[in-house]
């Protein structure tokens, strides 16, 4: 490290020592992250060394052994498992306040409701005890504590813990923003879900789980409705003593920026687009060469987490995230849990069906999961077999639909989309009840004008533009009813 950077780090260390809001573990974790960043650890990979992983490293889901039929054996498998949902995100991108996991997804049930119902039915069916852990951030902690109270009578153990709280770094001075007089939440950030491993350890949860005989944790984003417990995967990992497993799924054109698994220097490794040299970015985005991407459904051995955290061995690639707070340029240094794969022994990927990746990141995703394309049973969101196309429709909704509240107001009822290929909506558009969308549909209202799709309209392979102040006559010719 250059002398100037060493001085920066010493000044930062002094400033961080004076921050009373965070623990010693958080202070040392933060300093370690900044030290690695300043030393300029290589983020790029040598392109010529990249190899396509074999089926031994990225195992096809269809090749997994069947689960034992004996209920007692299944129970013993599940009694080794913990489910951990990453619950640090706010629903701000969808116009909500509070944890994203409390957005209503289907039949009045939230993400969290569905997760709890799934685990309750699993525990009841097999007589096992699979607990639920929620990793919150300081942004979601208080709200989650209140929300969890509603499950007090449920038949599962629910535990919460917080991921680390790090100070934002003033870019020009390399000093923590809180030491510059910024009080309140704006001075801090949660350092990405790569922090799940040290936070499990620092919270005391890891030791408690190990003492209960738990061996594996299934980690997933709380907004991925496809991330449910899979007995075949759990059975495979226990039988083969895999310390880490990343679920990957075939890439489509919508996923070209997603991280992928590669073989590199004899180990399996996650390759993210940020690590790709500029001249190879188009090659990385190709779905011919890099056919799979990371779903962020991860299965990890708890004893291995303990060993690697104690050895301070989890040096995941640093993701610099520049921000601005009240005109001050700041930096957030983050890590991702998927990048830890290369540090675990006997790590693998499993190439899973697309149904295990059903994230709800925007209102367009909400339209998919609230439609007749899916049903819900025992907390599981199940795809309608009447849909013959294996891919979901492509849906693009304008900014008028971005906030959940606005999205819900604009639909009297969610349209039928079983036979829809793509939908693009722009402008002040409102949908009546029992609308059916088929094929490729575009609906666009002229700026400043309102367009109402009437009740019962069937739109198939139509482009509908608002041409007059009275759109109904225009629509009649598209409506066979």
* Binding residue positions for UTP: 100, 163, 192, 223, 361
Annotated binding site: 100, 163, 192-193, 223, 361
Tokens 């109402």 found at: 452
Asked if 31 contacts 166 with a C-beta cutoff of 8 angstroms, the reply is no
Question: How does 296-329 read in b/e, with b if 16+ C-beta sit within 10 Å?
Answer: bbbbbbbebbbebbeeeebbbbbbeeeeeeeebe
Q: From its phi and psi, is residue 173 left (phi > 0), alpha (psi between -120 and 50) or beta?
A: alpha
Asked if 133 contacts 107 with a C-beta cutoff of 8 angstroms, the reply is no
Write the DSSP string, 323-350: EEETTEEEEEEE--GGGGGGGSTT-EEE
Residue among 336, 322, 438, 458 at smallest CA distance from 387:
438
Distance, first Cα to last Cα, the chain? 73
Write the DSSP string, 33-53: HHHHHHTT------GGG-BPP
Q: What is the dihedral of CA 369, 373, 376, 381, to 10 degrees?
A: -60
Q: Sheet harboring 175-176: ordered strands across?
A: 175-176, 169-170, 328-334, 319-325
Annotated binding site for substrate: 193
Rounded distance between C-alpha atoms, residue 254 and residue 213, angstroms: 41
Helix (H, G, I), strand (E, B) or coil at 429: strand
Name the packing angle between helices 3-17 and 24-38 (round to 10°): 160
Residues in CB range of 326: below 8 A, 6 or more apart: 182, 186
* Cα–Cα distance list, 181 to 28, 176, 187, 368 (Å): 21, 10, 9, 45
């Amino acid at each position: 490290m250059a002398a100037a950077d060493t001085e920066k780090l010493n000044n930062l260390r002094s400033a961080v020592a004076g921050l009373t809001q965070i623990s010693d573990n958080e202070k040392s974790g933060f300093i370690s992250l900044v030290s690695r960043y300043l030393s300029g650890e290589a983020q790029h990979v040598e392109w010529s060394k990249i190899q396509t992983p074999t089926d031994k490293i990225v195992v096809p889901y269809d090749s997994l052994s069947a689960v034992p039929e004996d209920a007692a054996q299944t129970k013993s498998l599940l009694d080794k498992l913990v489910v951990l949902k990453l619950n640090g995100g706010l629903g701000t991108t969808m116009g909500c306040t509070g944890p994203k996991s409390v957005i209503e997804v289907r039949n009045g049930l939230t993400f969290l409701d569905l997760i709890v119902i799934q685990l309750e039915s699993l525990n009841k069916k097999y007589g096992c005890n699979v607990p639920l852990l929620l990793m919150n951030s300081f942004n979601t902690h208080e709200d989650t504590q209140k929300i969890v109270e509603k499950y007090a009578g449920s038949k599962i153990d629910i535990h919460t813990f917080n991921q680390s709280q790090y100070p934002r770094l003033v870019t020009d001075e390399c000093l923590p923003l809180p030491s510059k007089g910024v009080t309140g939440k704006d001075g801090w950030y949660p350092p990405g879900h790569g922090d799940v491993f040290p936070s499990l350890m620092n919270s005391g949860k890891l030791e408690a789980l190990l003492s209960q005989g738990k061996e594996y944790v299934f980690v997933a984003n709380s907004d991925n409705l496809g991330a449910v417990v899979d007995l075949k995967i759990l059975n495979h990992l226990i039988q083969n003593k895999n310390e880490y497993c990343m679920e990957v799924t075939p890439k489509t054109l919508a996923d070209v920026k997603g991280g992928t698994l590669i073989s590199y220097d004899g180990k399996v490794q996650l390759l993210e687009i940020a690590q790709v040299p500029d001249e190879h970015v188009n090659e990385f985005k190709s779905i011919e060469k890099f056919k799979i991407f990371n779903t962020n459904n991860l299965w990890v051995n708890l004893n291995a987490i303990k060993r690697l955290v104690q050895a301070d061995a989890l040096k995941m690639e640093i993701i610099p995230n520049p921000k601005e707070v009240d005109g001050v340029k700041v930096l957030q240094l983050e890590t991702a849990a998927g990048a830890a794969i290369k540090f675990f022994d006997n790590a693998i990927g499993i190439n899973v069906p697309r149904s295990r990746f059903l994230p709800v990141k925007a209102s367009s995703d909400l339209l998919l999961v609230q439609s007749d394309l899916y049903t819900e049973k025992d907390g599981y969101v199940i795809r309608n077999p009447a849909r013959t196309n294996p891919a979901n429709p492509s849906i693009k909704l304008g900014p008028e639909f971005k906030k959940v509240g606005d999205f819900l107001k604009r639909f009297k009822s969610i349209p039928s989309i079983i036979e829809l290929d793509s939908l693009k909506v722009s402008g002040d558009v409102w949908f009546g009840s029992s609308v059916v969308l088929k094929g490729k549909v575009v609906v666009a209202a002229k700026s400043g004008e309102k367009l109402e799709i009437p009740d019962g309209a069937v739109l198939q392979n139509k482009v509908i533009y608002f041409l007059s102040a009275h759109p109904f006559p225009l629509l009649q010719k598209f409506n066979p009813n």
